[in-house]
Structure 1
Amino acid sequence: MAARQADPMAHLPRAGDFLLYPPTIQPWGYRIVDRLFAHRVVRRGRPKPWARGAEIAPAYLADGRAQDVEAFMERNFLAGLLVVQDGRIRLERYGLGLAEGDRWTTMSTIKSWTAILLGAAIRDGAIESVEAPVTRFLPELAGTAYAGVTLRDLLTMSSGTRWTEVYSDPDCDVNRYSRALAAKEPGGVLRIMAGLPRATLPGSAFLYNSGDTFLLGAALTRAVGRPLADYLSERIWQPAGMEFDAFYTLESEGGQEIAGSRAGMALRDMGKLAQFVLDDGVIDGRRVLPEGWIEAVAAPRFAVAEPKPPGITHYGYSWWLGDGLMSAIGFAGQRIDILRAERLAVITLGAFPQPPHVPPERDPAHRREVVSFVQAVRHLLGGPAPAGL
């Protein structure tokens, strides 16, 4: 057999180790997710430019000293920082090689947008109610621990299935899930979920479970009868005038979108999603979400036990909730904080170094500092004085 010609080839980090990348790999890997996993594009339409207001210069306390925006970016390994208020950009920064049009990984912040998209499907009549059983849309789960689980249970991560989500443990359920994505096995994630045992009654207890949101996205796909990427494009991405294409990762080539992790979006387009929430699901006077859906999403459903994300007390419909906060939170520093009373949103994109490469207390320290910064921005733009963390 003839030897292969020695053509140039890119060496990419192992997709199956995505949640275990060392700090040297994170900023690169998080920018090239569509090269690591199967994906489907969310098509933009005609871009609508942002209005820009006067730039703000928030300061906050960390390690007993006042810190500025530049220190915030450097201390916390941030690739992106965006502050929007009343439809205007008040601060926009890039780091770690991220450019304006690059799509950075959403990590689990996409879970919160799945809950938003579910509201569009309810308004469209594709889904009658959050009380619908999951097996109505995914009959292959009949006879598993998901029998009797409702869409509401998936929204609130209270399916009752036993699940482990410890990112530094290669053998936990979420890393088995991640390896199935890297292997691009058709139906691989669904088989993992169907094999989970039941731990508690559905709807009785909160347990963070990325697999629950995968099933929510799969049920939503069946309900609307087309790929989630197309549905998001039609209902929100194009009408809102996003500047760049986005993408969902897929469980396999041409397969189901992963509704709970590692999509890719540009920073300003994440800001427009936040503005869509601030506008109560209305775009240019046209209602996309049912009246009251944002209120329902932001209603506390379960108190969150320790350890919990800084600034957070409860979980709602796939959103983390705190004092005036609706927060979409993802691995390694991805966070979208929406403060509806102040018509304000703060988006941070990060590459917080992770265990086993750094001590486990490093990640919570970075997360606390992000909340300190958000509180400082909130106070600067008309909100209450920062509270102690």
Structure 2
Amino acid sequence: MTSVHAPSSPPGAALPRQHLPDGEEFLMWPPCLQSHGYRIVDQLFATRTIHRGRGQPFRRGAEIGIDIPVGGQRLSLGQFMDGNNVSGLLVIRGDELVLECYGLGLRAEERWSTMSTVKSMTAMLVGAALGEGSIKSIDDPVVRYLPALRGSFYEGVTVRHLLTMSSGVTWSEDYGDRNSDVNRYSRSLAAKVPGGVLALMCGLQRAHPPGSAWCYNTGDTYLLGALLCAASGRTLADTMSNCIWQPCGMEFDAYYTLESDGGTEIGGSRAGMTLRDMGRFAQLVMNDGMHDGLRVLPAGWVEAAATPAHALPAGGAMSASRRALGLVAYGYSWWLDGSGGMWAMGHCGQRIYVNRAERLAVVQLAVYPEPRYASAHEPDRDARLRALVDELRRSA
């Protein structure tokens, strides 16, 4: 807590102060803390700014009117927003923004936690690194760029394996288990331990030969971001700013979370961005890495990212959401459905959908309750989101 000591007040006087949510519990917050905490991540963790571009305005089309078929009834947009606990919803069709709606008190200029949707964004920077030559091949060994991993079970792992969540190391992505690997990682971030995440990754064991099995691993994308920094000699925030944020005319500064004060960016979770700028990123992917006639990402990189690398197993991380959204495969840090859709997925309701063939992009920011806070009467929010996407596709 922080407080202000007024000169006229005696020592120890009860003064106004602001309580912040416990960052160590970040992945386990109830929805009431999520709706506050996701907009103040930069007050809880160390961060580094992704500098904005020239603020190029969207081309705005006529606002769409839509209702969503769910369980034999049709939900209005407002009912969808309320039922899905939505703080931000944005739809781009073709080259036009056709819906931009805010809830839960979120304002257009406020940044919201991306959660793991930033994994898919960081993966796009690998294409930029290949284009500039700082990475020679995605089949390069990880230890070529991160020699600190020599002697760990990341020896034999390649950049491709990190991109496709197939490093083969053991990892538990169970948000409800306080002792899971992902929660140990999260507590290290909250404590701002220098080198803490890298030490955690070096201590992991091997479950499968590299490349042989898919296992969702937030730590893999941390290493991918650290590798990009080592290869380019720049911070990850500067790379995102130089390669995407500024060329695409992003309107607001964003930020990456850091593993410690002044430390390495966390490439795979809890960055902070505005809804509109996340929409601009989705539009870049929808346009095959082009923005206003400028090639921002190398030709063919988005197509490579959208090519299935691994079929998704029946269980494991986000399995209920995967079923509801129809996700069947994983590419270069993008989830893929069976109808041409690419999905960036984030904890507790952060979703980006891109369908390049149909020229449609949808961004949802939300607060889904963790299972321990969900009642028996909770709706299937991802099924509702899928119904919204399908209705948008039908009405094109």
The TM-score, its normalising length taken from structure 2, stands at 0.93
Amino acid corresponding to residue 281 of structure 1 in structure 2:
G
Q: CA deviation at 1:9?
A: 2.6
Q: How many residues align?
A: 379
1:325 is aligned to 2:341? yes
Amino acid corresponding to residue 193 of structure 1 in structure 2:
M
Q: Deviations over 1:122-145 (max 9, x none)?
A: 101110110011101110101111
Q: CA deviation at 1:217?
A: 0.5
Amino acid corresponding to residue 385 of structure 2 in structure 1:
V
Q: CA deviation at 1:295?
A: 0.7
Segments of 5+ residues of structure 2 without an aligned counterpart are 1-9
CA distance in 1, matches of 2:75, 2:114: 26
Q: CA deviation at 1:23?
A: 1.9
CA distance in 2, matches of 1:35, 1:217: 22
1:290 to 298, 301, 304: 298
CA distance in 2, matches of 1:234, 1:6: 47
The aligned residue for residue 365 of structure 2 is 349
- SS of the equivalent of 1:241 reads coil
1:372 is aligned to 2:387? yes
Q: CA deviation at 1:57?
A: 1.6
- SS of the equivalent of 2:392 reads helix
2:175 to 167, 172, 183: 167
Task: Confirm or deny: 8 A CA contact 1:187 1:251 kept in the other structure.
Answer: yes
The TM-score, its normalising length taken from structure 1, stands at 0.95
CA distance in 2, matches of 1:346, 1:241: 19
CA distance in 2, matches of 1:136, 1:263: 27
The aligned residue for residue 384 of structure 1 is none
The 5 Å alignment of 1:63-82 reads 63-82=71-90
CA distance in 2, matches of 1:231, 1:349: 25
* Cα distance, 1:345–1:326 mapped onto 2, change above 3 Å: same
Q: CA deviation at 1:231?
A: 0.9
Amino acid corresponding to residue 373 of structure 2 in structure 1:
H
Task: Confirm or deny: 8 A CA contact 1:216 1:259 kept in the other structure.
Answer: yes
The aligned residue for residue 51 of structure 1 is 59
Q: CA deviation at 1:288?
A: 2.3
Q: Deviations over 1:235-270 (max 9, x none)?
A: 111111111110100000111110000001000000
Deviates more, 1:304-313 or 1:172-181: 304-313
Segments of 5+ residues of structure 1 without an aligned counterpart are 382-389
* Cα distance, 1:367–1:140 mapped onto 2, change above 3 Å: same
* Cα distance, 1:361–1:148 mapped onto 2, change above 3 Å: farther
Task: Confirm or deny: 8 A CA contact 2:172 2:180 kept in the other structure.
Answer: yes
The 5 Å alignment of 1:176-191 reads 176-191=184-199
1:132 is aligned to 2:140? yes
2:354 to 333, 338, 349: 338
CA distance in 2, matches of 1:356, 1:98: 25
CA distance in 1, matches of 2:377, 2:27: 17
Task: Confirm or deny: 8 A CA contact 2:287 2:356 kept in the other structure.
Answer: no
Aligned-residue RMSD, C-alpha? 1.5
